[in-house]
Amino acid sequence: MKEHAYSGNNGCHETYRDYGACLVKNAMSPNEIEVVRQEVDRWISEAPNGDAGVQPFFSSDGTQVVKYDGGYYAESLSRSCSAIREMLYESALPRLACAALGAESVTFWRDEAHYKIPRMTTNATPWHHDIAGIPFKGRDIVTIWISLAPISECTGPLRTISKSHLDMTRRYRPPSRSVAADDDGSLYL
């Protein structure tokens, strides 16, 4: 995958169009990432105690969070959290999405956060196409993944399958999202 230091388009549109992914380093400042990390840490600190499997709860700002074995999940954070809303609308992220799509403007559909407890083998995300969970057609869709902690080859980086977005007739759905219990999802790849 071709790497880009963020400074406008800088070839990101062509890379995204041709390969389905574009690695952009330094798209957000360390301070912006720290603000988001503090918000995530806050709602994790408000989680119920215990290891009773899946536990939904509301944080003090009204964000619904789900605690599960190996991590936490929340979506629509920007509705109740001003720091997340500011990141989505006032940081470099909208310009980055426009650059990837070669568009003048973008519309955010949703935001979500996945916090995974380090070194847990039960919380790995299986191979999947993000498009399988998005109710839109077309190729003008961008998912932006931001790590709030340093990552390396050893700590579980984001991996992509180059050019897998080009065949719109084949989609991979992990087993946990399959409709049949005996369907391992592989026929969609």
98 in Cβ contact with 35 (< 8 Å): no
- Model pLDDT for residues 101-117, shown as the tens digit of each residue: 888 888 888 888 888 77
- Model pLDDT for residues 51-62, shown as the tens digit of each residue: 667 888 888 888
Instruction: State the pTM of this model.
Output: 0.72
Task: Count CA atoms closer than 13 A to 27's CA, side-chain side.
Answer: 27
163 in Cβ contact with 16 (< 8 Å): no
Q: Which segments of the chain does DSSP mark as H helices, in order?
A: 12-19, 30-45, 77-80, 82-90, 93-101
- Model pLDDT for residues 18-53, shown as the tens digit of each residue: 888 888 888 888 888 898 889 888 888 888 877 667
pLDDT at 181: 46
4 pLDDT tier (thresholds 50, 70, 90)? very low
